[in-house]
Amino acid sequence: MPHDHCPSCAAPDLAFVAHDHGPCASDALARAIAILAAKGLRLTPVRRRTLEILLEGHRALGAYDVLSRLASEGFGAQPPVAYRALDFLEEHGLAHRIRRLNSFTACMHIGENHTAAFLICRACNAISEAPATPSRAALDSAASAQGFAIESATIEALGLCPACQRAAA
């Protein structure tokens, strides 16, 4: 369900475009709070901080990167601390796992019911969450041709963002 009243839905993904990132982050955080409240789930300090860390940029962070940030801020220092927070965020649609990088990124379309496709720049590591509806529909159709029932889909592309293409040329 796209929100046409909000900037992040109307506009294409800004990951590859210079922009004021503050609103991206604060908007996402506000949505996260609303969604968890609606579901009766708790955005505890570790979880909130983990989400904020992911929201610092359009990139993916490994669990151990997140962990060292958390540890330096007084949270637990062992892997399950990070994995649990990240898994919670992913389970409730606030973050995504980037399989290609064994890492995690904040969801930029919180609250929209979506399959995400990720464009991963191999040069600058920026990650854009692209509209995946058509791609997902095509995948659904290939799956039903074999009688396969999809429960979750992973769609990721590795390549070069516009700026890094120019830099490489």
Rounded Cα distance, 141 and 100, in Å: 24
In this structure, are strands 95-98 and 103-106 parallel, antiparallel, or unpaired?
Answer: antiparallel
Rounded Cα distance, 48 and 106, in Å: 12
Site string for a copy of itself, 136-155 (x = CB under 8 A): xxxx-xxx-xxxxxxxxxxx
Rounded Cα distance, 77 and 74, in Å: 8
**Residues 100-159 close enough to bind DNA by CB under 7 A:** 102-103
**Binding DNA by CB under 7 A: which of 54, 81, 126, 160?**
81
Query: Are the C-beta atoms of residues 168 and 130 closer than 8 Å to each other?
Result: no
Please give the structure tokens belonging to residue 93: 């649609």
Site string for a copy of itself, 54-93 (x = CB under 8 A): ----------------------------------------
- The CB-of-15 to a copy of itself minimum distance in angstroms stands at 8
Rounded Cα distance, 98 and 158, in Å: 11
Cβ-based nearer residue to a copy of itself, 55 or 161: 161
Rounded Cα distance, 13 and 130, in Å: 7
Residues at the site binding DNA, with contacts judged by CB under 7 A: 41-42, 44-47, 62-64, 75-81, 83-85, 87-88, 102-103
Residues at the site binding a copy of itself, with contacts judged by CB under 8 A: 12-13, 15-16, 99-100, 117, 119, 121-122, 128, 130-132, 134-139, 141-143, 145-162, 165
